[in-house]
Amino acid sequence: MDASRLLLLIFVVMSTSECSETADPLCVDKDKVSRYLPEGEAFYHKFDDQNEPTHEELTWYKNNSKIEYISSDEKERVHYHGGELFFLNLLPEDSGIYTARRIKPSGECKNYIIEVDVFDASDRRNPDYFYGDTESSDKNIKVPCPEPVTKTCDRFGGNFTWYKNFSLLQGNHLAELWVKNAIKDHEGIYTCICTWTHNHKVYNSSASRMLIVHELEAHDCEILSPINMEQFADEGYGIKLNCSVFCGTNVNHDCQADWVPVNQKDGYNQTTKLVIENPSKSAISTAILTIEKVSAEDFVSEFQCTGTCAFKEKSATLTLKRRESIIPLVLKAVFVFFFCVFAAVLVKCFAIDLALLFRPYFPHSGHNKDARLYDAYVVYQMLSMDKATEETLSRFVTQILPSVLEEKCGYRLFIHGRDDIPGEDRLERVEDSIKQSRRLMVILTPGSSSGSENTDQCPTSTQNSVIGGFDWQVGLHHALVQREMSVILIQLGDTGPQGYTHLPAGLQHLIRKSAPLRWPEGSRAAASWNSRFWKRVRYLMPATPANKCPQSAVI
What confidence tens digit (pLDDT) does each residue in 42-68 have?
999 887 664 555 545 678 888 755 557
Residue 471 CB coordination number (10 Å):
27
Mean pLDDT for 111-139 is: 86
Query: What is the pLDDT averaged over residues 279-299?
Result: 86
Which letter does DSSP use for residue 144 in this model? E
Q: Strand runs (DSSP E) across 120-187, as ranges?
A: 133-136, 141-144, 159-164, 167-168, 176-179
Cα 359 to Cα 410: distance, rounded to the nearest angstrom: 14
* pLDDT interval class at 529 (50, 70, 90): confident
Give me the pLDDT at residue 390, please. Answer: 83
- The tens digit of pLDDT for each residue in 439-486 reads 888 888 875 544 433 333 333 333 333 334 677 778 777 777 777 788
Mean pLDDT, residues 390-409 taken together: 86
Q: Name the nearest CA neighbour of 283 among 313, 257, 315.
A: 257
Q: What pLDDT, on a 0 to 100 scale, did the predictor assign at position 4?
A: 45
> What's residue 154's pLDDT?
92
- The 3-class secondary structure across 186-247, one letter per residue, is HCEEEEEEEEEEECCEEEEEEEEEEEEECCCCEEEEEEEECCCCEEEECCCCCEEEEEEEEE
Give 402-416 pLDDT, tens digit per residue. 988 888 888 888 887
Question: Any long-range contacts for 492-499 (C-beta under 8 Å, 24+ apart)?
Answer: 492/389, 492/392, 492/393, 492/396, 492/443, 492/444, 492/445, 492/519, 492/521, 493/389, 493/392, 493/445, 493/446, 493/521, 494/446, 495/444, 495/446, 496/446, 496/447
pLDDT of 282 reads 81
Mean pLDDT (whole number) for 162-175? 91
pLDDT for the residue 451:
41
How many other CB atoms are there within 10 angstroms of residue 337's CB atom?
10
Please say whether the beta carbons of 266 and 235 come within 8 A.
no
HSE toward the beta carbon, residue 123, CA cutoff 13 A: 11
Q: What is the pLDDT of residue 51?
A: 53
- Please tell me the predicted confidence (pLDDT) of residue 161: 94
pLDDT top residue among 20 and 320: 320
C-alpha dihedral (244, 249, 253, 259), degrees to nearest 10: -10
Q: How far is CA 109 from CA 24, 45, 53, 58, 400, in A?
A: 9, 21, 14, 11, 142
Q: Averaging pLDDT over each range in 150-164, 211-225, 270-284, 456-470, which range is the top one?
A: 150-164
Question: Cα(246)–Cα(85) distance, rounded to whole angstroms?
Answer: 60
**Is the pLDDT score of 512 beyond 90?**
no
Q: What backbone torsions phi and psi does residue 156 show, to the nearest 5 degrees?
A: -115, 5
Angle at 398 between CA 397 and CA 400, to 5 degrees: 70
Expressed in angstroms, the distance from the first to the final Cα of the chain is: 179
pLDDT for residue 420 is more than 50: yes
Q: Which residue would you say has higher pLDDT here, 404 or 266?
A: 404
Q: Which tens digit of pLDDT belongs to each residue from 179-223? A: 988 888 888 999 999 999 998 899 999 999 998 887 666 667 888
Of 87-96, 226-235, 538-547, the least confident: 538-547
> Cα(26)–Cα(66) distance, rounded to whole angstroms?
15
Output the average pLDDT for the chain. 79
Q: Is the pLDDT of residue 21 over 70?
A: no
Q: What's the maximum distance between 2 C-alpha atoms anywhere in the chain?
A: 192
pLDDT of residue 447: 58
- DSSP string of 254-295? SEEEEEES--SSTTEEEEEEEEE-TTT-EEEEEEEEEESS--
- What value does the mean pLDDT take over residues 251-262? 79
Do you know the residue count of the chain? 555
| Nearest residue to 264 via CA among 301, 209, 237 | 301
pLDDT for 348-384, tens place per residue?
Answer: 777 777 777 777 777 665 555 667 888 888 888 766 6
